[in-house]
Amino acid sequence: MNTILVVEDDLRVANLLKGGLEEKGYQLLVAYDGVSAWRLFQSQAADLVISDVILPKMDGFELCRLIKQSSPQTPVLMLTALGTTDDKLQGFDSGADDYLVKPFDFRELDARIRVLLKRHKGAPVEQPVRITYADLEIDLLRKEVRRNGIFIKLSPKEYHLLLYMAEHAERVVSRVEIAEHVWNTHFDTGTNFIDVYINYLRKKIDRDFSTNLIHTKPGIGFILMQNYEN
């Protein structure tokens, strides 16, 4: 039985989540503020965390950062009424694995939970210690990126987006594919967070170098490729 920690200061919503998820066979831990949630997470094992953003004592972003620093493999799903692109970017930068906006369909929440738990419980896949493409090097153990030997500081989501593109170098990857594999979510046509992150990467990976590696295929997606001709 998987244990889920729900962090929600609205008692009605917390009870609805608890009842609905228990009916699905999950064991529930519930906290009503960020500090209590952090203490509960430290004292009891949780397979997944569902957290609101606006919480008393400690907001959901800070809670997510603490959880990911302590247990990087534990999936965190942000559940909130804040649905703008900037809100989602802040959530993903804090280390969140998925983001669901209120009001939501409980069936979608259940589907997101099952995907996150399946990936969390999946058998580990042997990986190389680094990926290189042209003068770009990604150290998978240290999670560090260098280009032409120069260290480039990336946020967690920028790193995972670049890693996914490097793993599929010289192949166009669509926005839907990126959303599903980097953000573990369905593509949200209401926001442009993927394009925002691509622009972040371009500024850090390409701006100070003579050759651009990240390119846009209009109407299709993006590609990591040297000597690309559109």
pLDDT of residue 97: 86
- Average pLDDT over the chain, rounded to whole? 85
pLDDT of residue 91: 54
- What gap in Å lies between CA 82 and CA 214, rounded to an integer? 30
Q: Is the pTM of this model over 0.85?
A: no
- What gap in Å lies between CA 34 and CA 40, rounded to an integer? 10
Burial of 88 (0-12, 13-18, 19+ CB in 10 A): buried
The Cα-based distances of 196 to 75, 199, 201 in angstroms read 23, 5, 9
**Intra-chain end-to-end CA distance of the chain, in Å:** 50
Angle at the Cα of 211 (from 210 to 216), degrees rounded to 5?
135
Helix 85-93 and helix 156-167, axial crossing angle in degrees, nearest 10 = 90
pLDDT of residue 123: 40
Residues of the chain with pLDDT > 70, as a percent, come to 87
Instruction: Give residue 81's pLDDT band: very low, low, confident or very high (50, 70, 90).
Output: confident
DSSP 137-152: EEETTTTEEEETTEEE
The residue whose two tokens read 């990591």 is 224
- The winner for highest mean pLDDT among 118-122, 147-151, 193-197, 223-227 is 147-151
pLDDT digits (tens, 9 = 90+) for 123-168: 444 456 888 999 999 998 888 999 999 999 999 989 999 999 998 8
pLDDT digits (tens, 9 = 90+) for 40-71: 999 888 999 999 988 999 998 899 989 988 88
Q: Is the pLDDT of residue 122 over 90?
A: no
Q: Is the pLDDT of residue 179 over 90?
A: no
Q: Is the pLDDT of residue 84 over 80?
A: no
